[in-house]
A and B are shown apart, each in its own frame.
Chain A
């Protein structure tokens, strides 16, 4: 019913250049661009980043509507921001003046800045997760964290935790759907009803979900232990990552963008 609309974070099995990039490269690009997004580099900076995003989106063969859908949950937050900002920020030139109610230019600019930044971050993350299989993503994270093992960071354990969490997201969604259906068959109305009914209907969903999640966690732990899983053991990988020219090129591009933004800011 509701769950099918979750777009954020779902892998889209398409065949594109972006899909075939090394996950480490994609994560690094995301990291660099995220930093760039937060540098106050004015309109020029945003245009450069936007151009990069448009090209990446085009190359990834993802539908524009898919990326836009990922932003749907953000709309309320954006409206909320706009309201708060208009009420609080009273600098710049006044654009609207109705009695006590006034809107200043800075309020609009501030909101716009934040909204654009959020949009960039969401689209960038969506491109990453939509073009990278969860397992590759974890592998990438693990490899990138490898150097930090020297200072005691358990890269493998972190990666294992992430991949288990990712593995169970679809299961959890499926389970949620199933329990919602079962409770709906017992007359629960998840869409309408007052606050009290809402709380009760959510309870009838959350409790079984927790129960089955704990069951599942225990089963998984037992199964892993029964097969002799030892988190501290050295292990090899079936899949070996290799950086190619296109990966280097992608990262170089993002470094250049980061540089441009830094340049504008500092100079």
Chain B
């Protein structure tokens, strides 16, 4: 079942002098089993949008259908816990949610909240830990003595352990080193490819979006500016420049070459074919 969003609006602090409309009528259909990127400038409403997906925010207007739940203004969601289990939400800088004495307990915290027995929960923890690149020696350590990147892994494990059907990630790699970021993205792709999980990724990193995602949604000032498959989107660099997003390196290189008179078709998006294309033209010139 895809995620259907209809005319969704959200106003923070409605009815006070601080009232601010962060989402101004969003219409979207997010495909199941795909990796969808949500991009846009800072303050465009990405985090606000994704917080609707597991019922943390309720729309001011419009509706949202996700995993069999129908969400609309003023209506209390029945069985909201079930929704939170189906839709796993990893926040920006999730390391701030750690609080237990040991990593084992912290990761097991979620499953226990959803009524899973302690032993079963600990078993799940043992299964999830290697997936985020940490070994069993970490189980009994305190989460507060880890490095920032390791904390992030533990926090993400705390959501993955719930085995959600839809995984929503708000800038999961912000502040990680390139190697760590790559490992994280590989993990998410595995979850998508092997377990068929629907993944929503909020990201500022266009390299990641281009490499890993199937679908791109561009938000701008609380509106959907674009909804496209990744290829089409990156074949039109002018769209990115329009909303102030820095295109990936290869696109920038392509644009520079085009400026210098090379004829490069829009469809070329990877380095080998770009090299091939230039080679052809240089040789032809000689």
Contacts of B162 in A (CB 8 A): 186-187
A208, B85: Cβ atoms closer than 8 Å: no
Kindly state whether residue B33 has any CB partner on chain A within 8 Å: no
Q: How far is the CA of A102 from the CA of B159 in the complex (A)?
A: 58
Can you name the residue of chain A whose Cβ is closest to the Cβ of B54?
Answer: A185
> B40: CB under 8 A from chain A?
no
Interface residues of A in 128-186 (CB under 8 A from B): 175, 178-179, 181-186
A residues in contact with B114, CB < 8 Å: 187
Task: Work out how many contacts link A and B, with CB atoms closer than 8 A.
Answer: 59
Stretch of B59-67, B90-98, B195-203 with 4 or more beta carbons under 8 angstroms from chain A: B90-98
When chains A and B are docked, how far (Å) is the Cα of A51 from the Cα of B117?
A: 62
- Chain A residues contacting B84 (CB-CB under 8 Å) are 184-187
**Chain B residues near A179 (CB, 8 Å)?**
96-97
Q: Are A189 and B81 in contact (CB under 8 A)?
A: yes
Residue A211 lies at the interface, judged by CB distance under 8 Å to chain B? yes
On whether the beta carbons of A207 and B99 are closer than 8 Å, the reply is yes
A121 vs B54: C-alpha distance when bound (angstroms): 42
**Residue in contact with A188 in the complex, picked from B17, B91, B113, CB distance below 8 Å:** B113
* Contact across chains for B96 and A185 when beta carbons are under 8 A apart: no
A221 within 8 A of B: no
Which residues of B, 59-115, contact A by the 8 Å Cβ criterion?
81, 84-85, 88-91, 94, 96-99, 109-110, 113-114
Does the CB pair A184–B96 fall under 8 Å? no
How many B residues touch A, CB cutoff 8 Å?
Answer: 25
- Residues of chain A within 8 A (CB-CB) of B109 are 186, 204
Supposing A4-B13, A13-B17, A14-B17 touch, asked if A186 and B97 sit within 8 A by C-beta, the answer is yes
Interface size class of A (residues with CB under 8 A): 20 to 34
Task: Write the nearest CB–CB distance from A264 to chain B, whole angstroms.
Answer: 39
Q: Which of A12, A14, A185, A203 contacts B56 (CB 8 A)?
A: A185
A212 is an interface residue with CB less than 8 A from chain B: yes
Residues of B close to A203: CB separation below 8 A: 99
CA distance A44 to B82 in the complex (A): 59
B99 touches A181 (CB 8 A): no
Q: B212 in the interface, Cβ–Cβ < 8 Å?
A: no
Q: Which of B56, B94, B98 contacts A184 (CB 8 A)?
A: B56
> Is A185's CB under 8 angstroms from B89's CB?
yes
Chain B residues, Cβ within 8 Å of A204:
97, 99, 109
Q: How far is the CB of B65 from chain A (nearest CB, A)?
A: 19
Q: Smallest CB–CB gap between A172 and chain B, Å?
A: 13
| B113 in contact with A181 (CB, 8 Å) | no
A187-B99 CB under 8 A given contacts A12-B17, A181-B56, A181-B91: no
Among B89, B94, B99, max chain A CB count under 10 A is at: B99
**Sampled A-B contacts (10; CB under 8 Å):** A175-B96, A178-B96, A181-B56, A182-B97, A186-B109, A187-B84, A187-B85, A187-B162, A204-B99, A212-B96
Could you list 17 further interchain pairs (A-B, Cβ under 8 angstroms) beyond the known A4-B13, A182-B96, A188-B113? A12-B17, A13-B17, A178-B91, A178-B96, A179-B96, A185-B84, A185-B88, A186-B84, A186-B97, A187-B81, A187-B114, A187-B162, A204-B97, A204-B99, A211-B96, A211-B144, A212-B96
